[in-house]
Chains A and B, each alone.
Chain A
Amino acid sequence: MSKLDDSRERPPDAPKVYEFEAIYAEYVGFVWRCLRNLGVPDRALDDAAQEVFIVVHRGLCGFRGDSQLRTWLYGIVRNVAYKQARRVRRKDRAEPLDEQLRSRAPTPSENAEDAQAADFVRRFALGLPEKKRELFMLALVEQFSIPEVAEMTGMPLNTAYTRLRAVRTEFRAALLRHRGAHESTG
């Protein structure tokens, strides 16, 4: 087997070749977390993530530019997540958010504290309106810079800064309540 990007007749000025598996390895965590924070229930995660990467695979042709890749990838994630969320809403219209988010017990390989933190963050994210949720997820959870987030979401930069301040305040308040509740029960 020849090396895959060691193409036999690759023109000298050919743009960068994206290897699907390299993209998968780099972005699978990002895709998975975004899908969860955008409201895809755990039972539908596999299907949603699979759909994302199949669309990525089909669309990779002619792609160039790292920041564009990230923006494009997030666009796919967002589309798939909202499609899945619609599907789930149609399917179990009566299911309350708590049921959808019912925490699964952490597997032996998962850290219990990580699972608890994930549960808290996810509940907080899903309680936010859509735009704020994206901002929270990309800027605070994924730690992209605000200009990157603005590019990925198509949000004006100043709006992104303003919203982030508001989201951060809300998150701190929620975290204080969370800690307080834990300390009083603990």
Chain B
Amino acid sequence: MNRLDDDEALILEQARNGLGPTSSDERRLLHNVLVQIALTPVSPLAQSVGALPKSPWPLRIAGSIAVIGAVALSGGLGYQKGWEAGIAQKTRHGTHEKAVVSAAPPIVDATPASAPPIEPAPPVVRMPPIERRSEHEAKSTSVSSAVRVPSASPAPPVALGLDEEVRQLRRVERAIREGNPRLALVLLEELDQAMPAGQLLEERRAAGIMANCQLGSGDAVSNARVFAAKHAGSAYLTRVIGICGLESERNSAVPGTNSEIGRLK
């Protein structure tokens, strides 16, 4: 190797170091990305799929399915309204009594076939809970204190308000709608640990059942039946039925009545 080769190798090595991020850049960026992921509304789904450049075939297929899923989500959006309505109702009352929704539950056509795609192994994302804080606080706080990395020993429950519970449940719901049930379950688990006695336990239960149904868990469908029996008037029932494939059972019962679903066991 002549001198120029040595020089070349050396300057490229130095340039790699000099061009790369510092460790504080890395921490700041990771923190910002995680916050962004947690707080970005779902609407850019189609945009993000469109933004994927020259994605390899599995992604192109996933993208196409996601678009189909987005269409199917028109039903899901109806569900979202119901979800929001349910939460809003609970928020107003500030109680965990069973939600009695006077309006008809949202019409959802999301049969299992048209539901958002369920990838065999969706990405597993460490999603540390982002504490509520002002933008200024978020910027000035170090990552280590702002991001709680899940550890083997669960953190002791902390006092969280209903607002925080609602925010976390919205993340769960978003994960379900994006076809990411594992993330939904992780978020639910975090919520259960941080707030074992929340005010939206029915919503948590519904979300957990839907996520497990998306995963195809063994007992998910029977849990869905139990949920249907216990929460016949739930705003989330139609969605649970759609995702867990109980439509045929509903059709074989007296059609259109949630109470009939409730009897299915």
Contact A57 B182 (CB under 8 A): no
* Cβ of B11 under 8 Å from chain A: yes
Q: B56 and A32: CB pair below 8 A?
A: no
List residues 57-83 of chain B with CB under 8 A from any CB of chain A.
58-59, 61-63, 66
Does A79 sit within 8 A of B, measured CB to CB?
A: yes
A11 proximal to B (CB < 8 A): yes
- Let me know if A29 is at the binding interface, CB within 8 A: yes
A-facing mask of B1-23, CB < 8 A → 1, else 0? Answer: 00010011011111111111111
In the bound assembly, the distance between CA atoms of A32 and B29 in angstroms comes to 10
The stretch that binds B, out of A86-94, A108-116, A126-134, is: A108-116
Q: Are B19 and A122 in contact (CB under 8 A)?
A: yes
Given contacts A28-B29, A175-B7, contact A118 B125 (CB under 8 A): no
Report the number of A-B residue pairs with Cβ-Cβ less than 8 Å: 210
Whether A100 is near chain B, meaning CB under 8 Å from some CB there, is no
Are A50 and B56 in touch, CB under 8 angstroms? no
Contact A46 B28 (CB under 8 A): yes
CA distance A179 to B120 in the complex (A): 55
Closest residue of B by beta carbon distance from A178: B11
CB contact between B16 and one of A24, A72, A141 (< 8 Å): that residue: A141
Tell me if B119 and A61 are in contact (CB < 8 A): yes
A18 at the interface (CB under 8 A from B): yes
Interface bin, chain A = 35 or more
A1→B154 contact, CB < 8 A = yes
Task: Kindly list chain A residues whose C-beta atoms are within 8 Å of the C-beta of B36.
Answer: 50, 54
CB-CB under 8 A from B24, the residues of chain A are 109
The reply on B179 being an interface residue by CB < 8 A is yes
Chain A: interface secondary structure? helix
A48 to B82, CA, bound (A): 36
Q: A75 an interface residue at 8 Å Cβ cutoff?
A: yes
**Stretch of B130-138, B163-171, B213-221 contacting A (4+ beta carbons < 8 Å):** B213-221
**A97 is an interface residue with CB less than 8 A from chain B:** no
A141 touches B15 (CB 8 A): yes
Q: Is B265 interfacial (CB-CB < 8 Å)?
A: no
B52 in complex: contacting residue of A33, A50, A76, CB < 8 Å:
A76
**Contacting pair B216 A111 (CB below 8 A):** no
- Contact indicator per residue, chain B 114-155, by CB within 8 Å of chain A (1) or not (0): 000101111111100000000000000000000000111010
Question: Which single member of A20, A62, A176 contacts B119 (CB below 8 Å)?
Answer: A62
How many Å lie between the Cα of A176 and that of B2 in the bound state?
13
Contact check, A60 vs B123: say whether CB atoms are below 8 A apart: yes
Main secondary structure of the interface of B (DSSP, over half): helix
Contacts of A158 on B, CB cut-off 8 Å?
A: none
A28-B26, A54-B40, A118-B14 known; A4 and B20 CB under 8 Å? no
The answer on a CB contact under 8 Å between B179 and A61 is: yes
**Chain A residues, Cβ within 8 Å of B126:** 4, 19-21
Contact at B30–A32, with CB atoms within 8 Å? no
The answer, yes or no, to whether A164 is at the interface (CB within 8 Å) is: no
Please tell me which one of the listed residues A1, A37, A120, A121 contacts residue B189 in the complex, with CB atoms under 8 A apart. Answer: A1
Measured between alpha carbons, how far is A172 from B7 in the docked complex, in Å? Answer: 9
Chain A: minimal CB distance from B62 (Å): 4
Question: Is there a chain A Cβ closer than 8 Å to B160's Cβ?
Answer: no
A185 to B35 Cα, complex, angstroms? 48
Query: B17 and A114: CB pair below 8 A?
Result: yes
For chain B residues 211-265, which have a beta carbon within 8 Å of chain A? 212, 215-218
- Contact of A62 with B29 at beta-carbon distance under 8 Å, contacts A117-B15, A175-B8, A179-B7 already known: no
Q: Which residues on A sit within 8 Å (CB–CB) of B58?
A: 62-65, 68
- 12 other contacts beyond A64-B58, A109-B22, A115-B18, with CB at 8 A cut-off? A17-B124, A55-B51, A59-B59, A61-B122, A65-B56, A68-B58, A71-B56, A114-B17, A119-B18, A121-B15, A142-B16, A172-B4
What are 11 A-B contacts defined by CB distance under 8 Å?
A: A7-B121, A19-B123, A20-B125, A24-B33, A32-B19, A59-B49, A62-B122, A65-B58, A114-B14, A116-B14, A118-B15
